[in-house]
Amino acid sequence: MRVLGIDPGIAIAGFGFIDKDGHKLKPVQYGCIQTAAHTPAEERLVQIYDSAVALIDKYKPDTVAVEKLFFNRNVTTAFAVGQARGVIILAAAQRGLPVAEYTPLQVKQAVVGYGKAEKRQVQEMVKMFLKLSAIPKPDDVADALAVAICHAHSSGLSQKINEVLR
């Protein structure tokens, strides 16, 4: 199974493709989609959408996992991130891909085993799980890979639960 993990953002959207084979996880490609500040929002959203479509078409994931929106204070930033998240989900949906969503707490729980883990702990676990020589930068990329790992770990359990419920 190939998973595309996304850490959405309007300035930087991290992405990470991983392959899951049994219990083994292997990085395929990772990086970020960046848009320039002071560019009109609609142009930034088109750039994010076009980049997401190009990545999906090139790396052909089986599923997409996106971090759910979480914000404390800045509502303006939250709206912009929500819009970026929306165009990424649209790109996946138009390609017929299932989309799973995870809260930051769920991602930390799945990757570190503790829902209130520090960012550095998550990054170190991403590095370890994927046998990387360094923590991916910027942080958005490591976060996207963490979302992909979360889905890779969670999808098997979800599938088993659905089979039992049938």
What pLDDT band is residue 161 in, cutting at 50, 70 and 90? very low
| Structure-token match 């676990």, residue found | 125
21 is catalytic: no
Nearest of 41, 28, 45, 33 to residue 6 by alpha carbon: 33
The average pLDDT across 57-81 equals 85
Q: Is the pLDDT of residue 113 over 50?
A: yes
Which residue out of 67, 118, 143, 163 is catalytically annotated? Answer: 67
Q: Is the pLDDT of residue 155 over 90?
A: no
CA distance linking residue 165 with residue 134, whole number of Å: 41
Q: Is the pLDDT of residue 5 over 80?
A: yes
67 is catalytic: yes
- Identify the pLDDT of residue 89: 97
7 is catalytic: yes
Distance spanning both ends of the chain, measured CA to CA: 23
Nearest of 110, 125, 123 to residue 157 by alpha carbon: 110
Q: What percent of the chain has pLDDT over 70?
A: 90
Nearest of 90, 77, 102 to residue 51 by alpha carbon: 90
**How many CA atoms are closer than 13 Å to the CA of 157, on its beta-carbon side?**
6
Q: Is the pLDDT of residue 130 over 90?
A: yes
Q: What is the mean pLDDT of the chain?
A: 91
Q: Is the pLDDT of residue 157 over 60?
A: no
The phi and psi torsions of 8 (rounded to 5 degrees) equal -70, 150
pTM: 0.91
Which residue out of 57, 140, 143, 163 is catalytically annotated? Answer: 140
The average pLDDT across 64-74 equals 80
Q: What is the pLDDT of residues 14-67, one digit of tens each?
A: 999 999 999 899 999 999 999 999 999 999 999 999 999 999 999 999 999 999
Q: Is the pLDDT of residue 4 over 50?
A: yes
